[in-house]
Structure 1
Amino acid sequence: MTTDPRPLIVTAEFEPAMQGWLEGLRRANYPAELNRVPAHLTLFHAIPGSAEAEVARRLALLTAQAPPLPARLAGVKSLGRGVAIRIECAALDGLREELADALWLLLSAQDRAGVQLHVTVQNKAEPPAVKRALASLTPLPERPTHIAALRLWRYLGGPWEALGRWPFRGRVR
């Protein structure tokens, strides 16, 4: 059992070409001094660090037989001081719900409330920068993609420590 109390974060990772494209958007738009983690789709924000082994076990089970999950970019949304790419993925919504049910007693109020799937490509930016990013990304053509893996991280007060990566191993039919 892990005794590190720092919170755990669970994210979804895209197939390599899309992951690279999102990384490029993040590098181009995120304030450089704050861009400490790769582009990601957060599923859970703050699971107690003591649950690391249990979360890792469940992520391994969820991905072992499942194929990469079909998803699509579904537009751009303003975050006020940032910009996000909306993601639609019914299979990931279901997987997240299953994991939330299993970990319910460990979840923060934020994580119990659910999630609107998105990738933040800009945050904590000044209004002119937000306006430029929105203009450059709108309209965003809908693009199909796949969720390739789930990842587990430990929050270190800014940067994140990578704890594990579980690719979806099932065959796409």
Structure 2
Amino acid sequence: MPAIDAPLILTLSLDKKSFDYFNALRQKHFPPERNYLDAHFTLFHHLPSAEYDAITATLAARAHAQPPLPMRVTGLQFLGRGVAFALEAPEAEALHRELQALWREQLTPQDQQRRRPHVTIQNKVTPAAARQLYEQLSASFQPFEATGTGLQLWAYRNGPWELLRSFAFGA
């Protein structure tokens, strides 16, 4: 692997049905000029690229031993200038805390905080547009199950992300 000169982002892969659902909504409602990514569940926003080898070794070992993670999509979150789906994901949060403890000294303040698991489908719009979508989706929302199927490590490229490596759970 060539030297990586960008912060690393770690996301949780979602089962195909859930991913397709979230991604279709993101493609429809996220401003196209700002939508560089597919729908995603971020675990860490900024891991140090200098630690790429150690991080990938940890993730490969951890993912190998990890069965798929059950989650429940419980509702919508109004973000002020966007909308996200709220997730209850105790096992994913336990994995996050484990990695957080392992990497604590290397984490940014954002990644040291407690998280509110979510998948953003709209962001960077007017508050009125966000409120309208939030109310529209909330009116017919029914909780559903989703599954975390693995981990993905990305390089942040000042907007777009570059997928560096995927780690399937139990592989």
Q: TM-score, normalised by structure 1?
A: 0.93
1:100 counterpart letter in structure 2: Q
Q: TM-score, normalised by structure 2?
A: 0.94
Please tell me whether the aligned partners of residues 86 and 117 of structure 1 are also in contact (alpha carbons under 8 angstroms). Answer: yes
RMSD of the TM alignment (CA)? 1.5
1:167 aligned onto 2:143: no
Long gaps (5+) in structure 1: none
Please tell me whether the aligned partners of residues 153 and 161 of structure 1 are also in contact (alpha carbons under 8 angstroms). Answer: yes
Q: Percent identity?
A: 34
Structure 1 position 65, deviation (Å) = 2.2
Structure 1 position 67, deviation (Å) = 1.4
Structure 1 position 164, deviation (Å) = 0.8
What is the distance in 2 between the residues matched to 1:29 and 1:126? Answer: 12
Structure 1 position 137, deviation (Å) = 1.2
Long gaps (5+) in structure 2: none
Please tell me whether the aligned partners of residues 2 and 52 of structure 1 are also in contact (alpha carbons under 8 angstroms). Answer: no
Structure 1 position 58, deviation (Å) = 1.3
What is the distance in 2 between the residues matched to 1:62 and 1:165? Answer: 12
| 1:79 corresponding residue in structure 2 | 79
Runs of 4+ in structure 1 displaced over 4 angstroms? none
Task: Please list the CA deviations of residues 98-120 of structure 1 after superposition, one character each: whole Å capped at 9, or x if unmatched.
Answer: 11111111100110113110001
Please tell me whether the aligned partners of residues 62 and 95 of structure 1 are also in contact (alpha carbons under 8 angstroms). Answer: no
Please tell me whether the aligned partners of residues 2 and 50 of structure 1 are also in contact (alpha carbons under 8 angstroms). Answer: no
What is the distance in 1 between the residues matched to 2:9 and 2:2? Answer: 15
| 1:6 corresponding residue in structure 2 | 6
The equivalences for 1:44-55 within 5 A come to 44-55=44-55
